[in-house]
Structures are given as structure tokens and as C-alpha cells.
Chains A and B, each alone.
Chain A
Amino acid sequence: MVLVYSDDKKIAFELLSKATEIAKGLGKKVNAVVINDEAVAKEYVAHGASNVIVAQTDVKEFKAEEYTDILEKAIKETGAESILIGSTKKGKELASRLAGKLNAGCIIDANNIYVKDKKLVTERMVYSGNAISVQQFNSKPNIVTIPSKVFDPLPKDAKKTGTITKKKFDVGKYASKILKVQEMKSGGVNVEDAEIIVSCGRGFKNKDDIKLVQNLADVLKGKTVGCSRPIAADLKWLPEDHWIGLSGHKVKPKLYIAAGISGQIQHIAGMRDSGLVVAINKDPDALIFKSADYGIVGDLYQVLPKLTAAVKEKMG
């Protein structure tokens, strides 16, 4: 049996689609777990789950310790052999803890998963996106986390039928507790969903100069500004939701423009799946040009305003 869980229901729909395919290959069924939310359980059925367990708990907020206990019990009860979990920050710490508790094999951030010789095989990026590690499970259960947008969801089918099982799960007592939850300072940007991104890096001299990329993003009707690590993490000129890279966001827009970004492999790891890549850098030897389809060698302070004007004219 293949079991799906994600704290993000959009990813859960994508995983249900893949789980259906894997389950077919293994001759098994697809189950899913939701916490308390019966309405979501119905949506899961419409997206391919043959049984959804609604775990009833008085745990108010996500904590990996308690949620691991719930999933551990759900796995034992259903006899789930393959567990697919959405690769959010919560999903990753949950999957890892669960793997420790169950002594199970676990792969975090798989961007491909398939069945070969009745065994589950995964692929994931390693070495800052410079290689793909292919790994095969040789024992059960298997735990795999998968990021958003790796797989397409099945279309919603209201005619699909499945069972919804409500079940109370007791959880252990843990010494940790949440004191406060605060929104991080953010401009409400979602770079992962953007179709066009214009990014800035350490080639920018002042915080105010970021308007140069904003202006270009605006005329491209993309409106989304990204950045490399120094701008978000070190200088804090932009909130972290703009940060693209290995430890920032991984994006795949149809057009990615990198201005004043040198092209360290950690940054490339975040944008390598982009459709078309354009680089602007004054250093002709900058690494970014190797990862770009088109590039301009020149001072971004001259290039960006001219490019913005030219794009505006072209697009009318």
C-alpha cells in the first residue's frame, strides 16, 4: 500500500497522482492521511485516494514529534509499504524523524520516483545540483519526500469513490512546545510559481538599485524579482522569499534573467530548470554565462535601463 501525506494539499494532489501510478506497478492501493480535516479528505478521494484516514487529534499546531507519532500509527495500522510525503520544511523533518523511529530507508527531495524490479527507485540532485544520485530501496517501509511541482496532479474527478475513515490517534508527550508563530517579513512573493523572474546578485552596489531589476520585471509583465544568497541572507536587501538557490527557493520559470549574479553552483542549483536563461555580468569569465542561453557582457547599471526600454518598445 502506498500512503500519501502532506501539510500542503496542493503537493498532496500531485503525490496522489504519482502514488496511483506506483501503486499500479506494485499491484497496491493508495491511501492518504489528513489531520482533522474531513473536507480535504473528500478532495483527496476525488484526486485518486481509495481510502483517506482522518486522524483526529487535539494537537493544535504542527510539531514533528506528535505528527510523527500519528503517521507511525497510521503506517502500522494500514501496513503501508511506501510513504510519500510532500517536501515542505515540515514534511522533511517529519519524514526524517519517522524514518528514525521506524528504522526505515528514507530519501528526501526526490525529483523522480519509479518502480523497477518491484523495488522503489528514486533520483535526487546532489553536489549542489551537479549530479543525480539514483537510489534503490532494499527494505520496507520506504519513505520518500517529493517537492512541489515535480509531478502533475490528476484532474479532479468527483465521480471517484473511496472510503474515509475517522480515527483517533494518541500521541506521546514531548518536552518541546511552540511559544509563538510570526509571519516572516515578506512581500507576498512566490518565486516558485513565477513564469518570469529577474534576479539580482552581488553586482548591485546599493539596496535602492534593486529597482533596476524591478523595472525590467514589470515591463516583462513578470513582476517577480529574485536574488542570490548575498542579497537575501547577508545584506538582507530583500526578504528570503526572493532567494533563489540551493538553500533558497528552486524555480523553473520560462524566462530567468540573472543580473550581477556570478553563477556560483549553489545559485545554479536553484534555477537550472528554468526555460530560457539570460545573464548580464561585467565579467566575461563569470560562471553564469556557462549556464545561460543568452548573455550580455557589460555593466548592469548601463545594460538594465537600456534593456528595459528596448523590451518595453518591443512589447508595445
Chain B
Amino acid sequence: MNIIVCAKQVVDVSEMKIDSSTKKPILQGVPQKISDIDKNAMEEAIKIKDKHGGKITTVTVGTPDAKERIKELLAMGADEGVLVTLPEKYDYHVVSTLLAEAIKKIDAYDVILCGEASIDMFSGQVGPRLAGLLNIPQITYAQKLDAAKDKVVCDRNMGDKSVTTESSYPVLITVTKEINVPRLPSLMQILGAANKPIKEWTADSVKSGLKPMVDTVDLKGVSMERKNVVYKNDIDESVKHLVDSLAKEGVLR
């Protein structure tokens, strides 16, 4: 079974600070990591390989420093990493096309696994977009995955409904955070990952002349104007003050 895992390097949003004057996020110097849900996709790939054998290749479209992060995936259990250098200007069209072309270049594949969305942008666009580009079936929001030799069955979390979907291979599957708990690699695995190959491809060598169809023109801050009145003394007093305030605000009707 040839398994592809798409993984994105993102800023660790929980470590991000906000500039108090502009209210814009400060992105410089924020630690980078593999987007959390992509690690759930990686974990699911390992389970499929454990059951049926095969090879796991991770593909990342990112900046050159993503190489360090890819080593984490190799330590978890991927056999090989591919890093396609992110061009200066990009959008979902550019990134998805680079992923599609890189995947075609790697080898024949049976399963492509993605996280349902990246934790920085949370669009969830890349997975199904890639399935459309490759014209293969898509199973999104998988919260349970059962891979047999010739087909896969997933339970999809559609909010109010759980939809069980089956597909033969090749298929693209996006997974939710609830599907598993990604393993933490052992020290031996971390050391072993240093010997696993990471191929580095330029965007042009994968697909030349790609131009974004959407330009990001601004990143605006979000002002969260709240009153921040906090009562912290005697609980009875605090409750009384709070109820009076709520009544004044007109929400106790």
C-alpha cells in the first residue's frame, strides 16, 4: 500500500502574541510546528501500514525550514519526506496544484491522507481541492477509518449525522482530531529519522508558472472590546454585583 500524508508547517497559534497597538498578530519569532490534525493523518497512515505493509511518504509545501518539522513525521514512522519549496506568492490553487503534481511525481498511490483543516487558517480546502484536481473520490471529516486490502470504510462526522462511506483505492481521506491520538516518537526513532531521506524540490521543477488566483491584501487585527469588570472578593458580594450589572445590561428578561 502506497500511502501519502500531506502535512503543513504552521505557526503555533497558542504561542502567538498580539501587538497591543495595531491588534495584529506578531508572526515573527513564533515557533513553527506540524499542524496538529496532520499528525492525526500521519498516525492513521502508520496504522494502515502496520496492517497491510507498504510505504508512507509525507509531502509538504513549505518554507525550507519545514525540513526540521518533516523529521518529526519521519520519527513517527514515515519512510520518506518530500518538501516542495513554497513560492513567494501563493494561494490554495498554487499549494494544491504543487501537492497534486508532487504526488504524481512520487509514485502510484493508494491513499492520500490529510488533516481536515490546518490549525492556522482552518479552511479545510486543501484535502477536497486536491481530490478534485486528481479526480479521485474523497472521504472528508473521517472520525473512524477501517482499511481493508481492496477498500476503505470510514465514519464521517457530518455534525448532526454520522455518514459511513466506502471507497476502493485510490482515495483521498481527511481526518478529524478525534480519530486517534498521534504517537510520540521514542528517542531511538528520533535518532533513526536522521537517516531517512527528505527530497527537496523547487516549485518550478514541480510545476512552473503557477500564479495565485487570490491575493491576500491585508491581515487586519481584531479588536475585542470588552468591559473586563472582574469581581474577585467575597462571593456573595460578587454575585450581587454581577446580577445587578446583568440587569442593567438588559439581559435578565
Stretch at the interface among A17-25, A36-44, A158-166, A172-180: A172-180
Stretch at the interface among B45-53, B72-80, B138-146, B183-191: B138-146
| Given A104-B213, A296-B242, A315-B252, 9 other A-B residues pairs in contact with their CB atoms under 8 A | A64-B140, A96-B129, A100-B131, A121-B217, A133-B121, A184-B162, A247-B117, A294-B229, A311-B243
Q: Which residue in chain B gives the minimum CB-CB distance to A100?
A: B132
From B93, B97, B138, B247, A314 is in contact (CB under 8 Å) with B247
Q: Judge if B197 is at the interface, Cβ distance under 8 Å.
A: no
Stretch at the interface among B1-9, B12-20, B57-65, B104-112: B12-20
Tell me whether B214 and A255 are in contact (CB under 8 A): no
Q: Which residue in chain B gives the minimum CB-CB distance to A304?
A: B239
* Inter-chain contacts of B212 with A (CB < 8 A): 105, 138
Tell me whether B238 and A298 are in contact (CB under 8 A): yes
Q: Which residue in chain B gives the minimum CB-CB distance to A219?
A: B252
Tell me whether B133 and A184 are in contact (CB under 8 A): no
Question: Taking beta carbons and an 8 Å cutoff, which residues of B are in contact with A?
Answer: 11, 13-14, 16, 18, 24-25, 91-93, 96-97, 117, 119-133, 135, 137-141, 153, 157-168, 171, 176-178, 212-222, 224, 226-232, 235-236, 238-240, 242-243, 245-247, 249, 251-253
From B96, B215, B216, B217, A100 is in contact (CB under 8 Å) with B96
Give the shortest distance, in Å, between B169 (CB) and chain A (any CB).
8
Q: A109-B123, A131-B219 are in contact. Are A181 and B129 (CB under 8 A)?
A: no
Q: Judge if A153 is at the interface, Cβ distance under 8 Å.
A: no
How far is A177 from B219 in the complex, measured between Cα atoms in Å? 41
Tell me whether B14 and A265 are in contact (CB under 8 A): yes
Cross-chain pairs A/B with CB under 8 angstroms, 12 sampled? A63-B165, A88-B159, A93-B124, A98-B132, A109-B122, A127-B11, A128-B119, A129-B222, A130-B16, A180-B164, A279-B230, A306-B235
Q: A177-B165, A179-B166, A292-B228 are in contact. Are A130 and B140 (CB under 8 A)?
A: no
Question: Taking beta carbons and an 8 Å cutoff, which residues of A are in contact with B?
Answer: 63-65, 68, 88-90, 92-101, 103-109, 121, 123-139, 174-184, 186, 196, 220, 233, 240-241, 246-247, 254-255, 264-265, 268, 272, 275-279, 284, 289-299, 302-303, 306-307, 310-311, 314-315
* Inter-chain contacts of A109 with B (CB < 8 A): 122-123
Q: A277-B226, A295-B230 are in contact. Are A128 and B165 (CB under 8 A)?
A: no
* Inter-chain contacts of B96 with A (CB < 8 A): 100
From A132, A177, A196, B166 is in contact (CB under 8 Å) with A177
How far is A138 from B217 in the complex, measured between Cα atoms in Å? 11
Give the shortest distance, in Å, between B17 (CB) and chain A (any CB).
10
Give the shortest distance, in Å, between B122 (CB) and chain A (any CB).
6
From A128, A176, A292, A296, B139 is in contact (CB under 8 Å) with A176
Tell me whether A134 and B232 are in contact (CB under 8 A): no
Tell me whether B239 and A307 are in contact (CB under 8 A): yes
* Inter-chain contacts of B14 with A (CB < 8 A): 264-265
